[in-house]
Structure 1
């Protein structure tokens, strides 16, 4: 899908939308998420489909979904009265629909979980139920110099739950598991500082699967409760980041931000969630942090820096305009009657500012080089730095002085799109803004005005089209589906059908028809019967309708013509698949280098009943370069987690036949993972930090049909990583360096047919 909205003249440089590729490249990691504060579920679902998915956002943090006190103020969402999915953002059905629609386009949902307390009224919450004995007894004001007081007394009068109680822990876990059952991928733990870490850990142990967890812990120098106490459970919010960044951009001295995150007392990058501001800080601490309130382009530049600098997992704030501290959100969302501020509406929509959205792509494309290179500053308010040859950014916070000079970027030669001034179209390889030339020595000239920025990265090279951005489906479909590429960019694609043959096989739809379901970059509808002919019209809930079209089931309308579902990239679910003997196994290429891969499974739909596994599940057996587990019966669908005998587990994954092999980060048909190798008549090499990126030939094992080597990593570079290469860099696998733990020895296996790599630690 494309977004080419223009804004009114005279707006600041951040006030524009980015023009996007139709699909986010599949091999580029997603490294930033957005907080759509107080957005409704229907608006979030549509935003995932139209903007967040195509732009490479990893996830959305949503406002607390549970039933809360009836009050228009924003803070009412943080006063729960039950754990029912009911509130001003929508009901349970709308919430579940949002989660699935976002998931279908590669965007996870993180729930803001209010589990420290209940609302500020009597201690009787019958809908849970909670009674007086389920709360701590301290109602005194909190003394922040006393740990017990911080974690056992009521927070600003809110009834403090007794999270040491097994009953309370289970009730909280039941609520979170309910969210997980609808597809929620993670949680922000509100007010985590006010709960002992062991209580949160106990609750987490009751959760299904391995949801992503990050915890709100506000650190203070003279307080006993420290953010680092919680990192063994999950990530933690690093408030020092916003509170350091803000003053430097407001008052000057951004050159001092070099090394931010590495200072004593800060969380490590792998544990930190960072932000420029959040919903609390822009209200409670407006004097210290940057926000949309009165800081002009400085707030924008703070976001550019945050997304460019390799520290933490950044969260982009996206809220609404307010003058009153208590003010609740606008009555309608940007897709349901209101609009973003740059279109005259009441929502700020920071995530849609061109430079912010494009810097998400910058961060994603530079993730493989998690370091700062070629740092430059003018001694005060102008900085520039690279990301290991994958990107380069120039930020000019100076009030008066421009930047007009060359920089050593370390990047490959070529013409790049300045993603701050314009948008890069990965399908055409064109840039709507300024382009910047990098010469053969990696040198480039930048001209950047006061309070402005410029940025280039390898994913936005002019003339280079994305080789992995064709429209792609997300899940298999049956042969009775009709699918559509939504080339018209409908906000809610609708299918109207009539005149189906054979006669009487399908009742005519009622105009404008049925709402289609997102499936990757397509929208589909299953008519659940085979048709030799049917007339259809695609529309946007009746508006902007297509011509009358005629087709059969099992087809896809893409690029203005009908194609088979297979030609559009869909995998078909057929009876033959279900009868295939190979559909009895789950296989895994062990990309994470587990010493003994285990398979944990639940919700198994199979030809004969399969009980849920007991954690950590079943040991997998190595065969043909993969680790497999045979269920002994044909599989249709299931949920799985891979782990190293229970540790270092993957995220929950939904699996459907015939794609039962997880290799190179995606589910594939089992036949693609068990192909025979080429009998040892090839030469493959190990290149990595262990051998200084030289060439070490792999040995061929006739018994397994795999190429192997044993390598020891001793801290030569960080992180420890490698590739398997043909000796010329022409063929190197995987596309992004394979990372392993340092100071360890590994046996590395390579399947030359499937290009799958598996690693076993010695």
Structure 2
């Protein structure tokens, strides 16, 4: 209608021959056209959030009842799977590592009964969370003297009635002590004993059949798959033979610790299933300690690590938090920052870790007078990392606002590639970095101790985004840029799931 009136005015001015009227009519027409174009301009087109779930959490020494109670929360915040501690009967003792010394394949341990385990799997399944069981199939106990296990099974070092006999174990001749000494010797690593643990002859049909029967039993209770403990100490073809015939879709995750200069490397095992990439955790530790999270860090074959689809990425696990090889809950905000990078970066399938605070490498989880581990709870856990935890306190990183925000970020960006790597030359900004996930998200890090204000260039669609961590609203301009203050040891995470549309 505005353009029609302006055209009429223009025709009238031409008929009258008035220069002033002509100029006024032309100005009116230009204004009308501009207004019309503005009215017809489409609203910004934001991609839809990917709604991806792939992250897991190790719930180290959590009882089956406690995991069952926590699973609704885990499902709600976007976790896909839980890795449990080993469920089989084990030697008796207060230390955490007794769980890794099987004496039978009965599902009865300090963490609960077979019935409680099955109920946990069912409850977690209802919450959309899969259970991955830690499967100890490389060895049995490391006790020289005969004993009785947690559920009453009698055993000797190389004899487990009804399960394994002395001929089912390796007799190590490669090492003078019978234990692994030289990790550069493949045969020694895979045939000798890991700290006196009776090493099963996994190359024999009988042993393979009994181990497969154990895995089948756990599958009958509803587990989605297994973490193969100490996979490095078994030839990959032995593992392949043991898991052969398991139902299609069974998750097979493997522990193979990468060691520089060693002949056994994770890549040998990747065909059977993803492998924990220890080099990732070491690199992340190094970056945080150097106060710069390098957005251009290379992972995958180019960076001498596993391909992303074959890697489980992590900040720490129950071993590394005890040997000091990586960051852990004891590093407070620095640990939280590393966890944010883990969840924001596209490499691998991320695994969080929840366990308990401890003093002394062998300290077991809090237990009652009969040795049963007490139920963990995160109901009253802090919403962020603490500078110190009392020994025996359960540590719940999945309860932290930062972690929950980054889980939402990860779900929104899906498998979008890493883009817009950002770092700064100015001295006051050298601890600040960031990267994007295309038009789906952008995350900024500050590995320094004090806050810093910086401007970031992104591939985000212009708009008003809500930071997934702080809840602050941040404006991304028409060039995809935004300016914000990044807290010390903090993160800003913008994504298409939290933008005004």
TM-score (norm 2): 0.80
Q: Deviations over 1:722-741 (max 9, x none)?
A: xxxxxxxxxxxxxxxxxxxx
What corresponds to 1:350 in structure 2? Answer: 397
Asked whether the equivalents of residues 339 and 346 of structure 1 are also in contact (C-alpha less than 8 Å), the reply is no
* Partner Cα distance (1:448, 1:158) in 2: 49
Residues 588-737 of structure 1: pairs in structure 2 closer than 5 A = none
2:68 to 23, 42, 45: 45
The answer as to 2:80 corresponding to 1:66 is: no
What corresponds to 2:418 in structure 1? Answer: 372
Residues 510-529 of structure 1: pairs in structure 2 closer than 5 A = none
Measured at CA, do residues 109 and 178 of structure 1 come closer, stay the same or move farther in structure 2, by a change above 3 Å?
same
2:465 to 409, 416, 419: 416
Asked whether the equivalents of residues 58 and 82 of structure 2 are also in contact (C-alpha less than 8 Å), the reply is yes
The answer as to 2:303 corresponding to 1:289 is: no
* Partner Cα distance (2:364, 2:122) in 1: 27
Residues 3-82 of structure 1: pairs in structure 2 closer than 5 A = 28-49=51-72, 51-82=73-104
What corresponds to 2:118 in structure 1? Answer: 96
* Aligned partner of residue 53 in structure 2, secondary structure: coil
What corresponds to 2:26 in structure 1? Answer: none
Shift of residue 412 of structure 1? 2.1
Measured at CA, do residues 125 and 359 of structure 1 come closer, stay the same or move farther in structure 2, by a change above 3 Å?
farther
What corresponds to 2:202 in structure 1? Answer: 163
What corresponds to 1:133 in structure 2? Answer: 167
Asked whether the equivalents of residues 255 and 381 of structure 1 are also in contact (C-alpha less than 8 Å), the reply is no
Shift of residue 30 of structure 1? 0.6
Measured at CA, do residues 161 and 241 of structure 1 come closer, stay the same or move farther in structure 2, by a change above 3 Å?
same
Shift of residue 365 of structure 1? 1.4
Shift of residue 56 of structure 1? 1.1
**Structure with greater strand percent:** 1
* Aligned partner of residue 459 in structure 1, secondary structure: coil
* Partner Cα distance (2:214, 2:342) in 1: 33
Shift of residue 261 of structure 1? 3.8
* Partner Cα distance (1:339, 1:450) in 2: 26
* Aligned partner of residue 171 in structure 1, secondary structure: helix
* Partner Cα distance (1:169, 1:218) in 2: 23
The unaligned stretches of length 5 or more in structure 1 are 1-24, 422-432, 465-762
Shift of residue 117 of structure 1? 0.3
* Partner Cα distance (2:465, 2:162) in 1: 56
What corresponds to 2:14 in structure 1? Answer: none
What corresponds to 1:299 in structure 2? Answer: 335
The answer as to 2:271 corresponding to 1:237 is: no
Asked whether the equivalents of residues 255 and 382 of structure 1 are also in contact (C-alpha less than 8 Å), the reply is no
Structure 1 stretches of 4+ moved >4 Å:
341-345
Measured at CA, do residues 263 and 144 of structure 1 come closer, stay the same or move farther in structure 2, by a change above 3 Å?
same
Measured at CA, do residues 452 and 100 of structure 1 come closer, stay the same or move farther in structure 2, by a change above 3 Å?
same
1:435 to 466, 473, 486: 473
Bigger drift between 341-350 and 304-313 goes to 341-350
Shift of residue 147 of structure 1? 0.3
Measured at CA, do residues 241 and 92 of structure 1 come closer, stay the same or move farther in structure 2, by a change above 3 Å?
same
* Aligned partner of residue 83 in structure 1, secondary structure: coil
Q: CA RMSD in A?
A: 2.1
The answer as to 2:371 corresponding to 1:333 is: no
* Aligned partner of residue 384 in structure 1, secondary structure: strand
Shift of residue 256 of structure 1? 6.9
Asked whether the equivalents of residues 251 and 273 of structure 2 are also in contact (C-alpha less than 8 Å), the reply is yes
Measured at CA, do residues 263 and 26 of structure 1 come closer, stay the same or move farther in structure 2, by a change above 3 Å?
closer
Measured at CA, do residues 333 and 145 of structure 1 come closer, stay the same or move farther in structure 2, by a change above 3 Å?
same
Bigger drift between 95-104 and 342-351 goes to 342-351
Shift of residue 265 of structure 1? 2.4
* Aligned partner of residue 320 in structure 1, secondary structure: coil
Shift of residue 298 of structure 1? 0.8
Asked whether the equivalents of residues 217 and 226 of structure 1 are also in contact (C-alpha less than 8 Å), the reply is yes
* Partner Cα distance (1:323, 1:410) in 2: 46
Q: Deviations over 1:496-536 (max 9, x none)?
A: xxxxxxxxxxxxxxxxxxxxxxxxxxxxxxxxxxxxxxxxx
* Aligned partner of residue 243 in structure 1, secondary structure: helix
What corresponds to 1:612 in structure 2? Answer: none
Greater Rg by CA: 2
Greater relative contact order, per chain length (Cα 8 Å cut-off, separation 6+): 2
Asked whether the equivalents of residues 82 and 125 of structure 1 are also in contact (C-alpha less than 8 Å), the reply is no
Asked whether the equivalents of residues 39 and 63 of structure 1 are also in contact (C-alpha less than 8 Å), the reply is yes
* Partner Cα distance (1:182, 1:339) in 2: 31
Bigger drift between 160-169 and 360-369 goes to 360-369
Q: Deviations over 1:352-371 (max 9, x none)?
A: 111112212211211131x1
What corresponds to 2:495 in structure 1? Answer: 457
Asked whether the equivalents of residues 128 and 171 of structure 1 are also in contact (C-alpha less than 8 Å), the reply is no
* Partner Cα distance (2:95, 2:382) in 1: 21
**Structure with greater helix percent:** 2
Asked whether the equivalents of residues 123 and 131 of structure 1 are also in contact (C-alpha less than 8 Å), the reply is no
The unaligned stretches of length 5 or more in structure 2 are 1-47, 144-155, 368-373
What corresponds to 2:406 in structure 1? Answer: 359
Measured at CA, do residues 175 and 72 of structure 1 come closer, stay the same or move farther in structure 2, by a change above 3 Å?
same
* Partner Cα distance (2:281, 2:52) in 1: 24
* Partner Cα distance (1:148, 1:36) in 2: 33
What corresponds to 1:205 in structure 2? Answer: 244
Aligned residues: 421
* Aligned partner of residue 90 in structure 1, secondary structure: coil
Q: Deviations over 1:225-265 (max 9, x none)?
A: 11100011111110001111112212334327622445342
What corresponds to 1:324 in structure 2? Answer: 360
2:454 to 393, 398, 405: 405
Shift of residue 321 of structure 1? 0.4
* Partner Cα distance (1:93, 1:376) in 2: 52
Bigger drift between 139-148 and 406-415 goes to 406-415
* Partner Cα distance (2:290, 2:241) in 1: 44
TM-score (norm 1): 0.53
* Partner Cα distance (2:485, 2:411) in 1: 25
